[in-house]
Amino acid sequence: MVGSTAFLDIEHGKMGQCYELKSIIDAIPWNKDGLITAIAQDGQSKDVLMLAWINRDALLETLNTRQVCYWSRSRKCLWRKGESSGHRQKLIEARLDCDGDSILFLVEQTGPACHTNRPNCFYLGLNTQHATILTQPI
């Protein structure tokens, strides 16, 4: 187990090497609002479901409860995915990217991931001429 951490040190780490969680969280380059992006991906289908924001508290809650929690920038509070809709995300695995500025949550999604009731938030296809809706609400 390695204590104090810089992400450049991790680039040279060996497979299976472990780092203390606190040192990793302390090394994350949180933005001026204390946030990084979080991508939710279906653990089975590998579909990208959504992108949101997390802060330190949301990350720790997610890791501890195994229910994905984000930070709502509009409401300025923790947002426990599915708290009101029931469309929860159960955490399968969490992965931090090489720069430490984005996290990937592999999840088991209950119901639609998007507030529009579509399977995911990426339902608008773009090309040089048009934007086309690709999926129906569930």
Show binding-site residues for Zn(2+).
98, 114, 121
- Residue 119: count of CB within 10 angstroms of its CB: 21
Structure token digits, residue 98: 């090489």
Contact 17/24 with Cβ under 8 angstroms?
no
User: Binding site: what residues are annotated?
Assistant: 97-99, 101, 114, 121
- Chain mean position to CA 84: 19
3-state DSSP helix/strand/coil % of the chain, to nearest 5: 15, 35, 50
Distance, in Å, from the CA atom of 28 to the CA atom of 20, rounded to the nearest integer, reads 13
Distance, in Å, from the CA atom of 27 to the CA atom of 36, rounded to the nearest integer, reads 12
User: Binding site for Mg(2+): what residues are annotated?
Assistant: 97, 99, 101
